[in-house]
A and B are shown apart, each in its own frame.
Chain A
Amino acid sequence: MFQKILIANRGEIALRIIRACRELDIATVAIYSEADRDSLHVRSADEAFCVGPAPQARSYTNIPNIISAATLAGVDAIHPGYGLLAENAHFAEICDTHQIKFIGPTMQAIELMGDKMAAKRTMREAGVPVIPGSLVPLAHVEQAIEEARAAGYPVMLKCSAGGGGRGIRAVYEERELVQAYHTARSEAEASFGNPELYLEKLLEGARHVEVQILADEFGHAVHLGERDCSVQRRHQKIIEESPSEAVDDKTRAALGESALRGALAVGYTNAGTIEFLFDRQGKFYFMEMNTRIQVEHPVTELVTGVDLIKEQIRIAAGEPLAFRQRDIVLRGHAIECRINAEDPKKNFMPKPGRVDFYHVPGGPGIRVDSCLYAGYTIPSFYDSMVAKVIAWGQDRTEAIARMRRALEEMVIDGITTTIPFQLEVLADPGFLRGEIDIGFVQAFLANKTDAGS
């Protein structure tokens, strides 16, 4: 087992990893930018290194400074968290070169799944159903037109180098396609440094259903059920839950089996998530694979009782999985709300600021993952998520009731958050009936505007 781990991340996920290390008696090293000097993750670690000024590229993704800190501190492993360097194959390789274990899959798996087209082709070859559309990047606009005709409108133009919901554009008619193609290429170049696009059929009314997997370095892999993440705003998840209302036991087994088959095909190790679109006819299609731990991992932790971060560490330390598929049982229902420092009344504009008073909800079935504390000033340089509130109940009704109770109890004074918006969603009749799909939030917001609220 590792003696010391460096956490190459910040905020709530860094704290999450530090907590897992603490439970495993592993010493922790935090990294921070000058803007995060007072952050809770820095204070919680045994050692901490300032690795750069506020801008992310000069600190949290400053590989030389991070590796330098890791070697100075004498760590055995680095946990990259999510985002930042988590899916950076180059970083994984550099860790290898320095004999520091990268807690995640191999650099090859990261590279392969990072190339969205290559990932899709690999999955298709492995017999996993994929969304109708491109299997190679679009070389020119005529190819886009052809493929759109073959798949049938509406379609989505997506960036090959994208991910995390960024760089996606919907096209409803052929006459919009040429313009959309060229604009999307410019945006892709600007955002990801790679203008390549691919095209997919837009499955309207589909659900975003993803499967969590764990694979050790001995060829054993399990799936830990699905998460329904359909409640998204502009492709950013706001509310996630497990299990999905649309998935019965038979479908769960099929989804899990597909996910594992895909993971096997790429020789995957450690934690990962395979994202599917689940259409109204009950058919699912591979969308993409995330080769890292995800923001919404607590939802799976609460329904399965498995500590995913500790499992990541154990797998990386060369331990075989301590459980088999039959040991994974989903119990009850869990929901997570991502609390962002955004103003829902002003089109969710990010509003960082100082938290004057902070009161965390408690009671049965409530978990809060956050780096907030009274007196903390949220820096403006990073994403706006400030807390995750996760509720578990014996069933979906209880989970929702507990979540509403918790959000009503929670106090984050001094900043504006998305809590009022999430409370409205949690009271929505459609949501309560479990009738959610990836168009839910858009429709919900549109109804609100119509109702003049």
Chain B
Amino acid sequence: MNVKEIRELVRLLAGTDVTELDLETEGMKITIKKGQSFHAVPAAQPGMHIVAAPTLEYAPLHPAQGPVAVPPSVAPAQAEQVLAPNQLLIVAPMVGTYYRAPSPEADPYVQVGEVVEQGQVVCIIEAMKLMNEIESEVKGRIVEILVENAQPVEYGQPLYLLEKV
């Protein structure tokens, strides 16, 4: 499925009463919810690239020609999390690859629902073969994990959404 087809789908949906559409096709799964920004989930296979949905509103300076590499960061619109008053974010303090556990076989440092203390190690960001343990600067309960294991992250990228306890 390409950007044109996704756009067409959104356009079709707009004219109906349908509020939510889940579509799974070869190598791609799309969830479209009316009234919210939608996101396309990258396929499992590494070769597939799609344009992150919010860029439909965000006009790149040059027209995309065929598959466009996804910017390694979260697309701008998604990165602007609107936080409720009782919510907190843990963001990446450096550029690197995010890992949720100390090693592939080990358990993740933290899970959704867990309460994290200030100074507790929540993940690893690897940069140039060095594993850096990232400590939380806040205390809170993990509501959502915002990044995938082995995802490249940039400075300031939100990693965990927490609620205050």
Residues of A within 8 A of B (CB): 22, 27, 34, 37, 43-44, 46-53, 59, 64-69, 71-73, 98
Which applies to chain B's interface (DSSP): helix, strand, loop or mixed? loop
Contact check, A50 vs B69: say whether CB atoms are below 8 A apart.
no
| A residues in contact with B73, CB < 8 Å | 48-50
Given known A-B contacts A64-B128, A65-B95, A50 and B61 have beta carbons under 8 A apart: no
One digit per residue, 1 when the CB lies within 8 angstroms of any chain A CB and 0 when it does not, for chain B 59-90 equals: 01110000001011100100000000000000
Residues in B neighbouring A59, C-beta threshold 8 A: 155
Please state if A68 and B69 are interface contacts (CB–CB under 8 Å). Answer: no
Contact A67 B128 (CB under 8 A): yes
Nearest B residue (CB) for A43: B61
Interface residues of B in 102-125 (CB under 8 A from A): none
With the chains together, A122 CA to B156 CA distance in Å?
Answer: 45
Q: How many contacting A-B pairs (Cβ < 8 A)?
A: 60
Chain B residues lying within 8 Å of A43, measured Cβ to Cβ, are 60-61
- Among residues of A, the one whose C-beta sits closest to the C-beta of B127 is A68
Whether the pair A50, B96 counts as a contact (CB closer than 8 A) is no
A49 in contact with B69 (CB, 8 Å): no
Looking at the assembled complex, report how far the CB atom of B154 sits from the nearest CB atom of chain A, in whole angstroms: 4
Interchain residue pairs with CB less than 8 A apart (8): A48-B71, A49-B155, A50-B155, A65-B95, A65-B127, A68-B127, A72-B152, A73-B72
For A53, what are the chain B residues with a Cβ–Cβ distance below 8 Å? Answer: 155-156
- State the Cβ distance, A287 to closest chain B Cβ, in Å: 38
The answer to whether residues A50 and B72 also contact, given A68-B95, A68-B128, A98-B128 and a CB cut-off of 8 A, is no
Q: How far is the CA of A27 from the CA of B61 in the complex (A)?
A: 14
Task: Name the B residues within 8 Å of A67 (CB-CB).
Answer: 127-128
- Cα–Cα, bound, A72→B153 (Å): 9
**Chain B residues near A48 (CB-CB < 8 A):** 71, 73
Q: Do residues B60 and A49 form an inter-chain contact, with CB atoms below 8 A? A: no
Q: Assess whether B96 is in contact with A72, with CB atoms less than 8 Å apart.
A: yes
Select from chain A the residue with minimum beta-carbon distance to B94: A65
In the complex, residue of chain B having the shortest beta-carbon distance to the beta carbon of A38: B76
